[in-house]
Amino acid sequence: LSERLSGVFDRLTKQGALSEEDVKTALREVRVALLEADVSLPVAREFVKAVQERATGQAVTKSVTPGQQVVKIVHDELVHVLTGDDDPGALKIDNAPAPILMVGLQGSGKTTTTAKLAKRLKEKNGKRVLMASLDTNRPAAMEQLAILGAQIGVDTLPIVKGETAVQIAKRAKQQAMLGGYDVYMLDTAGRLHIDDVLMDEVQAVRDVATPRETLLVVDGLTGQDAVNVASEFDGKVGISGVVLTRMDGDGRGGAALSMRAVTGKPIRFVGLGEKMDAIEEFHPERIAGRILGMGDIVSLVEKAQETIEAEQAERMMRRFQKGQFNMNDLKMQLEQMLKMGGMEGVMGMMPGMGKMAKQVQDAGFDDSILKRQIALVQSMTKKERANPALLQASRKKRIAKGAGLEVSELNKLLKMHRQMADMMKKMGKGKGGMLKQAMKG
């Protein structure tokens, strides 16, 4: 996807201001990109129109290519549309006991999210929370919430067989008042599809509880269907925000843009796994990057420009594209990384490398390792740096000794070098390689 985008951007004019023609060509691709990311057609159209108005006639900054500039405009517009509240994680929970209603389709992650948010309210806000399951269809669902409650140390409303959802909601409210709770959360039943029975029930519960927050939980992998779900729930029940779950998977995030554009309601939280801590406040930039499928190229470009001299970058680029990446390049990269906030900081910004950054971090990688690795390269001869294949056992011993380190550490460095060389080769391939886009200055 980003390859196609960069291909188009590469053909854009290299001078002066962005012409209408340039922008149009680029935006055709952007529209396709949006659709591929599961953004709904009308929303994609509207979005592209807004970008076009913004982009045409804008002067091309000297330091970036026109392509990068369009990417940045698109990115910024995505962030603009996705940004709802300044503080999406701040739930309205004054006037105790504050009711929070959780709605959504079956399997979207309501029960899990209810417990995650309860834990957050308890730990971050110091609130006393009561959770109640209104899922009368499936007794197992009530059990599920009770188990999660016990696990996170949050009270759940005792289960009484045979009650309707409305009766449970009333009892929860009463219990919350009597028990001096700050917040009570109502985890409603879902259906596989939207139907009148479900909507009637949720409406009735809403009327009893008059919730301060009504959060729609939507599976981030749902794609385009999310728009219908969101507008139905918002129209019939009225929602105050959306929680997008399963964003730890390969959900493309387009649903977020569509839901935001169609309902005007903010995305508040993002679910990132099954564990009780796997939830965070919504960050528009992250979803924008995901929709464009290119990581945070924009800030990578900005940061790289601050620290890498253009000439040096250009030289490195040409070598990487040819698949050349030797120890001197590695050393230069390591030094750049130190300057740019460490390995983690850099990798987190590169497309598809977020995971790797995490592995690096989990492996206990920190800046002192960067410095040790630089020392290892420094203790190599010129020949060895240019051709790491020369490094047999005796040379390895000498190099490690020279740096005052173990051979095992050198082996790790060599392995990393091989992996990076492979990656550089892949990324540098083709005229519009991602790396080229990212590093061009």
Question: Which residues contact ligand GDP by CB under 6 A?
Answer: 104, 106-112, 190, 217, 245-246, 248-249, 271-274, 278
For 391-436, give the DSSP string: --HHHHHHHHHHHT--HHHHHHHHHHHHHHHHHHHHHH-STT-HHH
Residue whose Cβ sits closest to Mg ion: 111
How is residue 17 annotated by DSSP? B
104 binds, among Mg ion, ligand GDP, none (CB under 5 to 8 A by kind): ligand GDP
Per the annotation, does 167 bind a ligand? no
Nearer to Mg ion, 65 or 111 (CB): 111
Per the annotation, does 246 bind a ligand? yes
Per the annotation, does 173 bind a ligand? no
C-alpha dist (Å) from residue 160 to 64, 136, 171, 178: 64, 10, 10, 18
109 binds, among ligand GDP, Mg ion, none (CB under 5 to 8 A by kind): ligand GDP
Report the alpha-carbon distance of residue 152 to residue 276 in Å, rounded: 8
Report the alpha-carbon distance of residue 286 to residue 270 in Å, rounded: 11
For the chain, the first-to-last Cα distance in angstroms comes to 22
Nearer to Mg ion, 141 or 165 (CB): 141
Per the annotation, does 187 bind a ligand? yes
241 binds, among ligand GDP, Mg ion, none (CB under 5 to 8 A by kind): none
Per the annotation, does 104 bind a ligand? yes
Closest approach of Cβ 209 to ligand GDP, in Å? 18
Residues near Mg ion (CB under 5 A) are: 110-111, 141
Nearer to ligand GDP, 280 or 335 (CB): 280
Per the annotation, does 263 bind a ligand? no
Cβ(205)–Cβ(237) below 8 Å = no
Nearer to ligand GDP, 183 or 217 (CB): 217
Closest approach of Cβ 112 to Mg ion, in Å? 8
Q: Which of 175, 117, 177, 112 is nearest to 147 (CA)?
A: 112
For 152-174, give the DSSP string: HT-EEPPP-TT--HHHHHHHHHH
Q: 183-187 and 213-219 as β-strands: parallel, antiparallel, unpaired? A: unpaired
Nearer to ligand GDP, 272 or 287 (CB): 272
351 binds, among ligand GDP, Mg ion, none (CB under 5 to 8 A by kind): none
Per the annotation, does 114 bind a ligand? no
7 binds, among ligand GDP, Mg ion, none (CB under 5 to 8 A by kind): none
C-alpha dist (Å) from residue 59 to 74, 128, 165, 383: 15, 54, 59, 46
Annotated binding-site members:
104-111, 187-191, 245-248
Annotated binding-site members for GTP:
104-111, 187-191, 245-248
